[in-house]
Amino acid sequence: MTIGFIGTGEITRAVVTGLSTVEGEKPAILVSPRNEAIARDLADRFENVAVAGSNQDVIDGAEMVCLALRPQDAVGILEGLKFGPAHHVVSFMATYGVEQIEKLTTPAQKVTLVTPLPAVAFHGGPTPIHPPHREVVDLFEPLGTPVAVETAGEYQALCVATATLAGAFAYYETIADWLAAKNVPADKAREFSGAVFYALAATAKNAPEHSFGDLTKESATRGGTNEQVLAHLKEDGAYRALSRALDGIWQRFEDAKS
Ligand SMILES: NC(=O)c1ccc[n+]([C@@H]2O[C@H](COP(=O)([O-])OP(=O)(O)OC[C@H]3O[C@@H](n4cnc5c(N)ncnc54)[C@H](OP(=O)(O)O)[C@@H]3O)[C@@H](O)[C@H]2O)c1
């Protein structure tokens, strides 16, 4: 199967890099000529990647076509293109629902929405998928953790949750900055804070049977320093603020539909 990409920007770079570095056989990939520098770089680095002459050539040369365009550009670009009934269209554009993409790519019969995170490039990305088409889940399986859901509402919620990455990095930046203010050299502060971040992620990954609530309780020894920090953050409304921020992104998605 050949996989095509229309819109060769940052997320296409990550997905194509991930797919081209899996163990064993790599899929044949055809990328659109724009962005020129990224398309050329991918074709130079990976034998399984070629640059198509045009967006229509991507469609004509691929069975699965991924749409990775900026949302504001998508309608104008897709209106000028012809899909066939056998195409499986995979849209990365979170603000478009299945029906909107079906309309823009008619008569294609199969449409799947996915929101890959850039970590798919090194096979560590979680990827929300809807609806749970097997061939798309299988494609993203070697790139990290595909999470395939049945309803549009569940998918929207997962997409909303992907808006928390910068906030999470800023949490560890706050710790690193605090350490540096206590005269820990900046590189050691960065190294230590990053290692704590990594250790927590590994702990959660290695114990999938434990809820985050369980892990929180296990880490907060009664009367200990972790319990004190947790209580302080709760008291100051840090977690309430995060829930409210997620509600705000959910609303932004709702507003984009109308
Ligand atoms: N970045 C992420 O982490 C991420 C994750 C999941 C989903 N997404 C979604 O994926 C989509 C792409 O995001 P991105 O971050 O990859 O954006 P991006 O880097 O701006 O990529 C969009 C690409 O589309 C190209 N383009 C513009 N006009 C075109 C045309 N007529 N034909 C073909 N290609 C054209 C642009 O080329 P030029 O550079 O030449 O303008 C650009 O390289 C967005 O809808 C975004 O919401 C992004």
Domain residues of the chain, as ranges? 2-150, 164-257
Is the pLDDT at 166 greater than 90? The verdict is yes
Cβ neighbours around 240 below 10 Å, total:
10
Q: What architecture is the 2-150 domain classified under in CATH?
A: 3-Layer(aba) Sandwich (3.40)
* DSSP assignment of the chain: -EEEEES-SHHHHHHHHHHHTSSSPPPEEEE-S-SHHHHHHHHHH-TTEEE-SSHHHHHHH-SEEEE---HHHHHHHHTT----TT-EEEE--TTS-HHHHHHHTTT--EEEEE---GGGGGT-EEEEEES--HHHHHHHGGGEEEEE-SSHHHHHHHHHHGGGHHHHHHHHHHHHHHHHHTT--HHHHHHHHHHHHHHHHHHHHH-TTS-HHHHHHHHS-TTSHHHHHHHHHHHTTHHHHHHHHHHHHHHHHHHHH-
Q: Which of 10, 140, 252, 253 to mutate to test the pocket of ligand 1 (most atoms within 8 A of CB)?
A: 10
Query: What is the average per-residue pLDDT within 202-208?
Result: 94
**pLDDT of 129 above 80:** yes
Mutate to test the pocket of ligand 1, among 70, 89, 143, 147 (most ligand atoms within 8 A of CB): 70
* Top mutation candidate among 11, 78, 160 for ligand 1, by most atoms within 8 Å of CB: 11
Residue nearest ligand 1's atom 48 by CA: 11
Q: How far away, in angstroms, is 177 Cα from ligand 1 center?
A: 33
Query: Is it true that 2-150 and 164-257 share their CATH fold?
Result: no
Nearest protein CA to atom 6 of ligand 1, as residue: 115
Ligand 1: which atom is nearest the Cα of residue 13? 16
Cis status of the peptide bond prior to 35, with omega within 30 of 0: yes
- Please determine, for residue 158, whether its predicted confidence score (pLDDT) is greater than 90: yes
Predicted pLDDT at 257: 79
Instruction: State in Å: Cα 147 to ligand 1 middle.
Output: 23
For ligand 1, mutation pick of 13, 17, 35, 75 (most atoms within 8 Å of CB): 35
pLDDT digits (tens, 9 = 90+) for 238-252: 999 999 999 999 999
Decide which of 177 and 256 is more confident: 177
Task: Using the atom order of ligand 1, give the atom closest to the CA of residue 94.
Answer: 47
Per-residue pLDDT at 159: 96
pLDDT score for 140: 98
Q: What is the CATH number of domain 164-257?
A: 1.10.3730.10
**pLDDT band at 95, cuts 50/70/90?**
confident
Pocket around ligand 1 at a 6 A CB cut-off: 6-12, 32, 34-35, 55, 68-71, 73, 77, 92-94, 115-116, 118
